[in-house]
Amino acid sequence: MNPPTSLPGVTPAPTPSARPAPPSGNTSGAPTLPPGGPGGGVAHRAAHASMRDHLVASVDAIRHLEAHLPRLEAWAGELATRLVAGGRVLVAGNGGSAALGQHLTAELVGRYRDDRAAFSALALHAETSSVTAIANDYGFDEAYARQVEAHGRPGDVLLALSTSGRSPNLLRATDTARRLGLRCLAMTGPAPNPLAMRAHDVVALDVASSAAVQEAQQVAVHLLCSAFDRRVGVP
């Protein structure tokens, strides 16, 4: 069979034998990175140092929780008393704090480690149609306050999660919760901050890194769940 005729102005594709051989040691022909990753050894060492700094900040933030263990134990007792009596926990946050709040409600409605009764807990950001409808009609600052007004009853608990303690929608939700007779708890970064001042009680971590605060709050959520389970009789 005769080879195909080349079109004017079009360079024929190279034959297999004309393609460059892959670099030594790389039989796949895929691109390779320089030793030590992108940018070579200097960039790799800088990235490694940055990751170590992050780990140090996170461990330091978690160590700050030790001073708050009695408070978390007391919160667990409050939650146990209120939820066993038929109360509900409403949880609110933004971004990663919203995801963390939904983690907590999942542990309460489902389970943390061992089987036990289900308890009522709502992550307010997960009510997507309500959030968007309220934000559209009333503004985003009211996205949680309106839901607290709808779902909250005297004796229920609102837990607000924030790294800054300054989110207007959490401040409005806490104001509404207090007006309606809910118990208001908060986890924040360094205090004083507006959310800490509005809540009845707060776990405020005096840590500069927002990421480290959020990582420590994840540990705090698990500590709270573990203490709660003990209070409701889970071994």
pLDDT digits (tens, 9 = 90+) for 98-156: 999 999 999 999 999 999 999 999 999 999 999 999 999 999 999 999 999 999 999 99
User: pLDDT for 49-94, tens place per residue?
Assistant: 889 999 999 999 999 999 999 999 999 999 999 999 999 999 999 9
- 178: alpha, beta or left? (left if phi > 0; alpha if psi -120 to 50): alpha
Kindly list the domain boundaries of the chain, sorted by start residue. Answer: 71-231
Instruction: Report pLDDT digits (tens) over 21-42.
Output: 555 555 666 666 555 555 567 7
Q: What is the dihedral of CA 110, 114, 119, 120, to 10 degrees?
A: -30
pLDDT band with cut points at 50, 70 and 90 for residue 235: confident
Instruction: Look at the block and give the residue holding tokens 């309606």.
Output: 180
What is the pLDDT, as a whole number, of residue 178?
98
Q: What is the pLDDT of residue 38?
A: 57
pLDDT-based confidence at residue 43 (cuts at 50, 70, 90): confident
Q: Strands 89-92, 121-123: parallel, antiparallel or unpaired by DSSP?
A: parallel
Confidence at residue 29, expressed as pLDDT on a 0 to 100 scale: 63
Residue with more model confidence, 234 or 146 = 146
pLDDT tens digits, 1-27: 555 554 455 455 555 455 555 555 556
Q: By C-alpha distance, which of 72, 66, 128 is closest to 98?
A: 128
To the question of domain 71-231 being in CATH 3.30.1360.70, the answer is no
33 vs 177 pLDDT, higher one: 177
Q: What pLDDT does 234 receive?
A: 85
